[in-house]
Amino acid sequence: MNVEKTVLVPLDPERTFALVTEPERLRRWNIIAGRIAAEVGGESRMTVAPGCHAVGRLLELDPGRRVSWTQSWEGRDEDPGPPATVSITLAPAGGGTRLTLVHAGLDEAQAAGHAEGWGWYLQRLLAVAAGRDPGPDDWDGLLQEADAAALADASLSVLLRVLRDLPPESLARRTPCREFDVAALLDHLAGSLEAAGSELGVTAADVAGIPAEDRIARLAQPVLEAFTQRLHEGTLASGQEKFLAGMLNNELLVHAWDFATALGRPLDAPPGLAERILELGQLTPELRATAGFDEAVPVPPDAPALDRLVAHTGRKPRG
C-alpha cells in the first residue's frame, strides 16, 4: 500500500527542498538529529523521536525537484523483503511549491500509522515555512519505557531548542554552572561530547565557526548513534554503560537548564524526562568531576523532578 500526501508550501522550490533535505532545517519540524546522505547510494539515519531511528539509502537527488530514499526503522523491521520507499516531488504552484510525498511499499497497518504521522509532520513543515515555531514534538508517552539511549535522544531535543538562534551578545551571559558563561559552557559541553565519543570510538566532527545549535547537534548525533548501537548490542562494560548513560543524560538536560536559566528561555522538557533520568542513579564522584557538577543542594523530596535533578547536580532550582 501507498500513502500519498500533497501540500502547498509558501516557499519557492529551492527553499522547500532545503527544508526536506538539510539536517539543520529538518530539525525544525521532523527530526531531533540526523545523519543525512549527500549522494545517491549514501546511507541516512534520522532520529524522529526518542528511540525511533529511520534508516535508509538515498535513491534520487534532484535539487529543487525531487528526492527519494528507502526507509525502515532501526531495530524494528524484521521483514527481509524490499524496504519501503519515500519520495518527495516539488513543483512551482500558486506562488509557492506543491509538495507531493509518496510513502510506498507498506502493509495496511503501516500505511495507517504513516498516514497519520506524515499528516502531523507536514503540518509542522507548513508552520516552519510560514515562519512559525510548531513547538516541541509530542513524544512524552515514549519515555516510560525508554532506555538510557532514548532518554539521551529526548535530552538532546530539549537542549537544541534552548540553543536555537542564539544572538552573539548572549554568549557572555553568566550561567548557573560554576564560573562558565554561555560561550564557555558550550565549549565545556562540546568537550564532554568529544570525550564520550572517544569512549565509543567516534571521531569528533569539524564544528568550527557554526552556530551553537548546529555545533552541538553535529557533535551529539554520532555519539548518541554509537551509544545506542553499543547499548543494544550489549558491548559496553557495565561501568562504562552506567557512566555514559549518566554522563550523556545529565550533561544534556542539566546544561539545557543552565542555558535556559542564563538566557531567560523556556525549557520545553516533557514532564517524565527528568524523573526517568533520576532513575538512572546517583552521580558518581568521577562523573561529577567530569561534568563539572557540584555537590547536591537539598530540596524537598516532593519537589518537581526537574528541580530534584538540577539540585542533585549542585544547582539551586529556579523556584
Instruction: Provide the residue ranges of all domains of the chain, joining segments of one domain with +.
Output: 3-129, 140-312
- Decide which of 58 and 239 is more confident: 58
Return phi, psi of residue 46, to 5°: -120, 125
Q: What is d(CA 89, CA 100) in angstroms, rounded to the nearest whole number?
A: 5
Q: Which residues pair with 88 in a beta bridge?
A: 67, 101
Model pTM? 0.95
- Residue among 316, 314, 172 at smallest CA distance from 250: 314
pLDDT value of position 319: 67
Q: Which amino acid is at 65?
A: R
**Superfamily (CATH H level) for 3-129:** START domain (3.30.530.20)
The per-residue pLDDT for range 144-194, each reduced to its tens digit, is 999 999 999 999 999 999 999 999 999 999 999 878 999 999 999 999 999
Cell reading at 247? 554522563
Per-residue model confidence as pLDDT tens digits over 31-77: 999 999 999 999 999 999 999 999 999 999 999 999 999 999 998 75
What is the 3 state secondary structure string of 142-173? HHHHCCHHHHHHHHHHHHHHHCCCCCHHHHHC
User: What CATH architecture does domain 140-312 belong to?
Assistant: Up-down Bundle (1.20)
Count, residues in the chain = 319
Report whether pLDDT(116) > 70. yes
How much is the pLDDT for 146? Answer: 95
Q: Does residue 291 carry a pLDDT above 90? A: no
Type of residue found at 76:
R
